[in-house]
């Protein structure tokens, strides 16, 4: 018998060897419920207390909505999730619901209402629509954070000067202790309040604008007619959501600097004038040409970015046409 005729019997024999015996009884399968997984963690921060906590309307509650002021101030409301992730890999069911103020439906509804109001004007402005939605909170957080930051930044050097005066005999020991205490308190206040208002104000409001505008673009695309859809490409819509809207989220951190930088320059000039007189104008005179050069450079960069954005749209449109043509050729 040749080797070719022996292979089928060997294959059948190998398969028969893998079959279980006639008297084999498989063990019963047992599944553990979710609430038995790491009971020490689940008892304190489990799904019943963390991610599945229901409100009066039957919807999941977010821990940030039910957190008190101290928990929001020190960000301790997220500590249960961090501790749970330290004990075990996080699952989808472990994540809590998002806050009501961060929901895409509510942000999209507010932006759409403001944008409809802008369309009734001769020159509608998306900036004004966004400002009407988050402008008040934005100004409050930036006023508090940058206000305290400016006050602490200009008062602390004065305290340091008085502390140095203690070693020269110009300041008494009691006053030196007071200046030192004030310096430490301002440092703590500057760290807590500035970072709290920065992260919960600037970054969160920028994220809300990004989410709201993305949802508004999605809602607009669903309402487009067939003729309007043919005029735009998928890449153009993706470019709007991934690039243009993302810039608002990134730029939200620098809006406060634009508003309060002028105040900081004026206060700096007054303080330096108090110490050395009119000689301070020589130093600030060197800064003016740099500011002019920076403004010119930013304008050039802005033009280059606009040109790059237009070329990117053309490239995306061209690639979409090429891919569509290849699909048609492959189809037929």
Q: Cα separations (Å) of 18 from 7, 12, 21, 86, 127?
A: 17, 10, 9, 42, 70
What's the predicted TM-score (pTM) here?
A: 0.64
Q: How far apart are the first and last CA of the chain?
A: 52
| Per-residue pLDDT reduced to its tens digit, 149-179 | 778 888 888 888 888 888 888 888 888 899 9
Q: Are 156 and 187 in contact (CB under 8 A)?
A: yes
Give the CA dihedral 162, 168, 172, 177, nearest 10 degrees.
50
pLDDT in tens, 218-250: 888 888 887 777 777 677 777 788 777 877 777
Alpha-carbon distance values, 269 to 78, 221, 262, 264 (Å): 43, 52, 11, 9
The yes-or-no verdict on residue 216 having pLDDT over 70 is yes
Of 327, 330, 202, whose CA–CA distance to 255 is shortest? 202
Lowest mean pLDDT among 52-61, 92-101, 209-218, 287-296: 52-61
8-state DSSP, 200? I
208 C-beta neighbours (distance < 10 Å), count = 26
d(CA 186, CA 150): 11
* 56 against 175, higher pLDDT: 175
Q: What is the mean pLDDT of residues 33-62?
A: 49
Q: What is the pLDDT of residues 262-275, one digit of tens each?
A: 777 888 888 888 87
261 vs 118, higher pLDDT: 118
């Amino acid at each position: 018998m040749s080797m070719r005729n022996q292979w089928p019997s060997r294959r059948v024999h190998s398969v028969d060897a893998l079959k279980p015996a006639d008297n084999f009884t498989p063990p019963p399968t047992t599944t553990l419920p979710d609430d038995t997984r790491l009971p020490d963690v689940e008892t304190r921060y489990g799904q019943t207390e963390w991610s599945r906590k229901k409100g009066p309307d039957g919807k999941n509650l977010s821990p940030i909505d039910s957190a008190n002021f101290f928990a929001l101030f020190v960000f301790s409301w997220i500590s249960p999730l961090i501790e749970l992730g330290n004990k075990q890999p996080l699952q989808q069911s472990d994540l809590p619901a998002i806050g009501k103020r961060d929901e895409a439906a509510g942000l999209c509804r507010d932006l759409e209402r403001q944008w409809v109001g802008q369309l009734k004007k001769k020159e509608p402005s998306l900036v004004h629509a966004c400002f009407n939605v988050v402008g008040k909170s934005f100004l409050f957080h930036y006023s508090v954070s940058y206000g305290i930051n400016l006050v602490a930044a200009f008062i602390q050097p004065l305290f340091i000067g008085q502390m140095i005066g203690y070693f020269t005999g110009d300041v008494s020991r009691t006053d030196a202790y007071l200046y030192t205490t004030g310096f430490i308190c301002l440092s703590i206040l500057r760290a807590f309040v500035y970072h709290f208002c920065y992260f919960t104000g600037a970054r969160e409001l920028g994220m809300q604008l990004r989410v709201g505008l993305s949802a508004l673009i999605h809602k607009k695309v669903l309402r487009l007619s067939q003729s309007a859809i043919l005029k735009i490409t998928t890449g153009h819509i993706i470019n709007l959501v991934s690039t243009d809207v993302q810039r608002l989220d990134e730029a939200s951190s620098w809006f406060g600097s634009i508003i309060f930088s002028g105040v900081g320059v004026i206060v700096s000039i007054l303080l330096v004038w108090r110490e050395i007189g009119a000689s301070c104008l020589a130093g600030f005179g060197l800064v003016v040409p740099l500011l002019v050069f920076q403004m010119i450079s930013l304008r050039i960069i802005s033009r280059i970015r606009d040109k790059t954005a237009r070329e990117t749209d053309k490239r995306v449109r061209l690639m979409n046409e090429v891919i569509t043509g290849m699909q048609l050729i492959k189809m037929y």
